[in-house]
Amino acid sequence: MVRSLLIVPLLAAAGGGVWLARGALLRWRDLRAAETYELAGEHRPMLLRAAGAMVCGVGVTVLTLLTALGTFGALSGDGAADGAGGPGGLTGSAGSLGSVAGRLDGSGGGWQAAPPAEAADAAVPAPSVPTPSPLPVVSRFDSVGHPGGGELLQSAVPGPDGHPRNVRVWLPAQYAKDPNARFPVVVMHAATPRKTADAEVPDVFEGLASAVQSAKGKPFILVAPEAPNGTAHPCELVAAAPMAVADDAALRTTIAATFRTLPPGPAAWGALGVEDGAPCAAAAGLARPDLYGAAAAVSGKYDAPALARTGAEAPATGTPRLLLAAGKADTAGVDAARKLQSALRGGTGAAARAEVRISDNATDYSADRIRLRLVRQAAQYLGEALGKAS
């Protein structure tokens, strides 16, 4: 209120001062012109206007100071009011907040009596509030199709670098049939930047479904995250940073919080990679046997020494379990699998303990049919290793 009352005279004094100063300036110019032509001029009007302008200037200064002081006082008064009349604004505010906290406290969620203000002021300062633990990352997954008799969903999930990337999740047909069941999870690695593995292996869902339908496999949820950008062959990074590829905490947290999965861990989570994505799956199983209980790598080409080092540096807990599958006619793939098996046997640590199985008997009349058989074998292996829905 004080501030609004001072604004009117402040504006009036400022306007009057400007008007008087302008008049004094004009009179001074007239006097200078008269002196040029040796004419006599009257100085009194100019002096009066100049004096009036000075008085107005002083008034503007005083009113400005009073307005500023009035605003500051109002703010101080508000702080005191918030503190329930305490001697200090901050102290009073803390007391008020403490009263509210006291009234809201209680396991039953009801209102309780707050301690007196004097007791609150005399109490020992409350300890700092601990930082709450981060909440699970929950994303909205939208249905994008029904391949293999199941349901395919997609969403954006933060990657290891914090940037969002597309993630596709395939739910087997059994997921909808039994709303109380929980399922193992298999992470399928892609080998093309900005693509998910199902874009590289479009018949993967048919292979998974046929493994279950033949009663030789057990259903699990397939998760296909988008491969990272920055290199033409993301799985070549496993030799340089296998832990970064194998561990994806944000993905595990999101999937476990969104779907009916078994708890993340070696008993229920595995990895899968086909062709160029096979090294990523092998690295996941070798680098983190404490997180991934089994890994299946299909038709891959491997850097055996690098993966042996990855297994040697793995956590002491857990035994890596790995399936290396290749078609019977794929001599290069079978040879790469056997070299990796030998390198792991000659390694140290978890690499030497790794249980490596090689499958090299798949054959059919076309490359696509052979790949389908290999995916079916991988699904059977992972289903057996990770257990059935519970």
Could you read off the pLDDT of 235-277 as tens digits, one per residue? 776 656 666 666 688 899 999 999 999 999 999 999 999 999 9
Could you read off the pLDDT of 277-331 as tens digits, one per residue? 999 999 999 999 999 999 999 999 999 999 999 899 888 788 999 999 999 999 9
> For residues 20 and 49, is the Cβ–Cβ distance under 8 A?
yes
In 3D, which of 228, 189, 183, 221 has the Cα closest to residue 205? 221
Q: How far apart are CA 194 and CA 166, in angstroms?
A: 8
Given pLDDT bands bounded at 50, 70 and 90, which one contains residue 56?
confident
Q: How many Å separate Cα 363 from the centre of its chain?
A: 44
Beta strands across the sheet bearing 321-327: 142-145, 151-158, 164-171, 221-225, 185-189, 269-274, 294-298, 321-327, 355-362
Q: How far apart are CA 374 and CA 270, in angstroms?
A: 17
> For residues 152 and 144, is the Cβ–Cβ distance under 8 A?
yes
**How far from 349 is each of 36, 81, 274, CA to CA, in Å?**
107, 68, 26
pLDDT above 90 for 14: no
Mean pLDDT along residues 38-42: 55
Could you read off the pLDDT of 361-381 as tens digits, one per residue? 999 889 999 999 999 999 999
Token pair for residue 273? Answer: 């990679």
Can you tell me whether residue 138 is helix, strand or coil?
A: coil
